[in-house]
A and B are shown apart, each in its own frame.
Chain A
Amino acid sequence: MKDKARIYIIDDDEIFQFITRKSFERLDRKDELFFFLNGEDALRSIKDSIASGIELPELIFLDINMPIMDGWDFLTELQVLIDSAVNKPNIYMVSSSIDDKDLIKSKKYSMIKDYIVKPIKDVHIKEILTSLEA
């Protein structure tokens, strides 16, 4: 993956957002990072991108539990939005939930690349980016 990718981080935990920003900095990359506190904000941004012809994010880190619109609802609506898109985003579910129910549910969404349990550090992010390059 090129080192200047569009990446969405959708999580209502501001500390997690801070940590993730720092993680990318520590990887010394020049990615464009977009932070959203809930699914609805992120979805609006994607709608805008489609409308104005801006390319979709290549990578999305998606939390499950968020106010207003949670991760599952976001996925359901996104599926409809990008159904016809050629370059679909790589989506990673990132949650502190170790509940089996969430893990099983994530298997039902074909769009989800993987389900990652927090904490997620710079090294983990590097691994993901490398695997995407392959």
Chain B
Amino acid sequence: MPQTIDFLTLYVNKLGICEYADSNTTLFEGLTTKKSIEDIHVDQLFKESKFYAPIVTWLQRDTNEFWEDIIEDVFKSFVVSIQPIKINTIVAAVTIRTSIITRKLDQLKYQYESALENANVGLWVWIDVDKDQSWWSDSFYELLGYEIDEINPGVEAFSKLIHPEQIEDFTAIMKSFYERQANYQNSNQTNLEIKMRTKSGSYKYLLFTAKFAKVNNAIRFSGTVVDIDLLKKIEIELQQRDEQLQLSMEAANMGTWTWKIDSNEVIWSDHLFEIFEVEKNCFGGKFGSFLKIISKEERIFVKETIENTMLQCETHFSFKHSITCPDLSQKILFSKGEIFYKKGKPHRMMGIVLDITKENSLQKLLEQTQERYKIVFESMTEGVLIVDMNETIVDHNIAAAKIVGYEDDMLIGEELTYGDGVAIKEDFSNFPTEDFPGIKTIRTGKGFRNVALGWIKTSKELVWLSINSEPILDQQGMQIGAVCTYIDITERYTAISKLKMKNRQLEDFAHITSHNLRSPISNLSILLDYYETSTSEGDRKEYFENLKHVSTTLLSTIQVLAESLKIQKDFIDDECEISFQEVLNNVLKLLSGQIKEANASFDIDFEGCKSITYSKTYLESIFINLISNAIKYRSKSRQPIIQVRTSYSEQQQPTLTVTDNGVGIDLSKNKEKIFGLYKTFHANKDSRGVGLYMTKRQIETLGGTISVSSQIDVGTTFTVQFK
């Protein structure tokens, strides 16, 4: 889009009269004072001489040469050119156009001005102080309620609009400005509140900001004007309210006083006399007279509080004190004061006194309630922790610290993950910090219930906790923290795990009776039946042999069952501190035949954990089963090497591992069955079932666990974790 240039061409005759004009814009209306610009002398046409003076001069010179110059206005510059022509009486065509450069500035100006107008801000420029040339923005006119052509902007017009009250002040300011103008450089911005008359005749408060600048040796002021009428009205209203406040102070049982320190004169408000219940004529009106009224015990305290404030040159003080009224009742008063200093010395003191007897008892009640609440909080056996959004513990009760093995108050200000203890899950694996219910509640805003967590205290003692966590919400429903409650369920937890184990053993037992007793008995019944009905002597003999065999098996099964029933904690009577090495030595002696036959070698290391408090019989049995197992399932292609090790687990439990280099077990098929019972108890057959079943029972009865890992044709490792 080609840029259009605003222009105004005047066709002027020798006398300087514009006979006719040509223009593509109304923008020049601002330059001229007349609606019609034809048949008017140019000096009547323009508001400012800078526009018509060059034309007049050119006509006077009578050189008939083309002339061009740039004339600067407030925000833009114009290119003025005078072209000599000869058409009838016309001698010159005067063209005033905006320069391309100022056109851009123009746009900027309009952007700003419209923004300012929207904000109810006017602009003004006092272009030349000496010549009293000014420019006011449309918005300024609007603020005053005038049309643009109704007022000629300038100091003269301005002064007329100022409220009579302020004329004097304004003149003084102007005067001081003239006196000091030589010193004005790039002055700071000054603000001035002026009450001005609008067209309607009412007055409006306007706030002027003014900035001084020197442009081409002319002094220029410019600034903004804002309508603050509403604000001012509010301010005045507030002032009035302040007076009302005095009244409400009395309603609030508040009295005021002033102490002129120099003359030691104390002045009380009427209401203060009422508060102190002192007759006006009975009051001495001195500082001492005031102190006398205060009860003896508190007199020194009050005196010192005020004196210290003065000594330290501080300005504000407040204190509570009590007085005894003539009827001997007690009143609690709150005093607040301010000290005014003159030349560094306290000069005057002012303040208020508030009767807070009632409030004080309310305060006491509140404190009591809080105290009672705290007592309940502390007497809870449940641990309660309050955590803020930074996962820091804000408050907790005694139980919360005690349960996890800390002193009272120790956790406040710490992170929820504080401490040297170790958190574990039910399967004894590590409990990740980010899964702590409290932390999860902070991070997700959700509550969690009955989360079981094992905590190994710094003393190595293990406690089981059941944790609940709930988000804390403020009145707007925003989360501001979390509350965690937990109880020590170690006892219950231990009981439950014991019960679980017993239950498992009972299930095993039911399985045994179902399989291991039913099988031989059903065999017996058929064998007997066939024996009776058989006619062949050879068959009968065969049936009888089998009958004998089954009855022997049945007997041994019953014996094993009886044995396994004996594996109960109550039946153990040989628990003592025993050395692993000693027990193993006995076992190796017992198994020496098998070991020799298999040519098995041993790699033994008990340095990790030398001894354990355990049943000697059981430990022997565990060793016998694991070692004979390792020998039985040796690989035919290599010499059996059996590795026996002890150590402590992360949870400080003694751990035993027995590793062989035998054929291995396919655990994908047999993992669950490996410690179970198979139906046959044939002593000479696969006895892994019986042996490992008994071993597992023994270990579990004493609170431990046994697990297995294996790789086919590489070897098998049994890991026993003692309690």
Contacts and interface: CB of A to CB of B under 8 A. Distances in A.
Given A13-B679, A119-B522, A18 B529 contact: no
A85 interface: no
Nearest to B670: A68
Contacts of A119: 522-523, 525-526
B514 A16 contact: no
B678 A12 contact: yes
Contacts of B553: 15
B549 interface: yes
A73 B679 CA distance: 17
B515 A97 contact: yes
Contact of B673 (A13, A16, A70): A70
Contact of A66 (B514, B522, B527, B678): B678
Contact of B530 (A22, A65, A67, A118): A22
B679 A22 contact: no
Nearest to B689: A67
B523 A22 contact: no
Contact of A118 (B511, B518, B546, B670): B518
A98 interface: yes
A118 B514 contact: no
Contacts of B669: 68-69, 73
Contacts of A16: 519, 523
B584 to A, nearest CB: 29
A15 B520 contact: yes
Given A16-B523, A118-B519, A119-B522, A65 B678 contact: yes
B13 interface: no
A12 B529 contact: no
B519 A13 contact: yes
A50 interface: no
B686 A99 contact: no
Contacts of A97: 514-515, 518
A73 B666 CA distance: 13
B629 to A, nearest CB: 14
Given A15-B550, A18-B546, A19-B527, A65 B520 contact: no
Contacts, number: 66
B680 interface: yes
A70 to B, nearest CB: 7
Given A12-B679, A15-B549, A121 B526 contact: yes
A96 interface: yes
A134 B15 CA distance: 141
A22 B539 contact: yes
Interface in A8-35: 12-13, 15-16, 18-19, 22, 26
Which has the most chain A C-beta neighbours within 10 Å: B515, B525, B689?
B515
B232 to A, nearest CB: 90
B550 A67 contact: no
Nearest to B688: A67
Chain A contact-residue range equals 20 to 34
B679 A96 contact: yes
A118 B511 CA distance: 15
A96 B525 CA distance: 13
Interface string A84-103: 00000000000011110000
Given A15-B549, A16-B519, A73-B669, A67 B678 contact: yes
Nearest to A66: B678
Nearest to B525: A119
Which has the most chain A C-beta neighbours within 10 Å: B510, B542, B680?
B680
B538 to A, nearest CB: 12
A15 B526 CA distance: 10
Contacts of A22: 530, 539, 543
A67 B514 CA distance: 17
Contacts of A67: 673, 678, 686, 688-689
Contacts of B529: 121
Nearest to A15: B523
Contacts of B542: 18
Given A65-B515, A67-B689, A96 B522 contact: yes
B679 A15 contact: no
Contact of B680 (A13, A70, A121): A13
Contacts of A15: 520, 523, 527, 546, 549-550, 553
B665 to A, nearest CB: 10
B517 to A, nearest CB: 9
Given A67-B689, A96-B515, A19 B526 contact: yes
Contacts of A18: 542, 546
A118 B523 CA distance: 8
Interface in B504-519: 510-511, 514-515, 518-519
Contacts of A26: 530
Contacts of B543: 22
B624 to A, nearest CB: 21
B514 A99 contact: yes
Nearest to A39: B669
A9 to B, nearest CB: 14
B539 A19 contact: no
B523 A65 contact: no
Contact of B518 (A68, A96, A120, A121): A96
A65 B676 CA distance: 11
A26 B526 CA distance: 13
B537 to A, nearest CB: 15
Interface in B655-714: 669-670, 673, 678-680, 686, 688-689
B269 to A, nearest CB: 93
A66 B670 CA distance: 11
Nearest to A95: B515
A99 B523 CA distance: 19
Given A19-B530, A99-B514, A118 B522 contact: yes
Nearest to A12: B680
Interface string A50-77: 0000000000000001111110010000
A70 B688 CA distance: 16
Which has the most chain A C-beta neighbours within 10 Å: B511, B525, B526, B673?
B526
Contacts of B510: 99
A45 to B, nearest CB: 18
Contacts of B688: 67
Contacts of B519: 13, 16, 96, 118
A66 to B, nearest CB: 7
B194 to A, nearest CB: 98
A71 to B, nearest CB: 12
Nearest to B553: A15
Given A12-B679, A67-B689, A98 B526 contact: no
Given A68-B670, A70-B673, 11 more contacts: A12-B679, A16-B519, A16-B523, A19-B530, A19-B546, A26-B530, A96-B518, A97-B514, A99-B510, A118-B518, A119-B525
13 contacts: A16-B519, A16-B523, A19-B523, A26-B530, A67-B689, A96-B514, A96-B515, A97-B514, A97-B518, A98-B514, A99-B511, A119-B523, A120-B526
Closest 7 CB pairs of A and B: A119-B522, A96-B518, A96-B519, A118-B522, A15-B523, A119-B526, A19-B526
Interface of A: 12-13, 15-16, 18-19, 22, 26, 65-70, 73, 96-99, 118-121
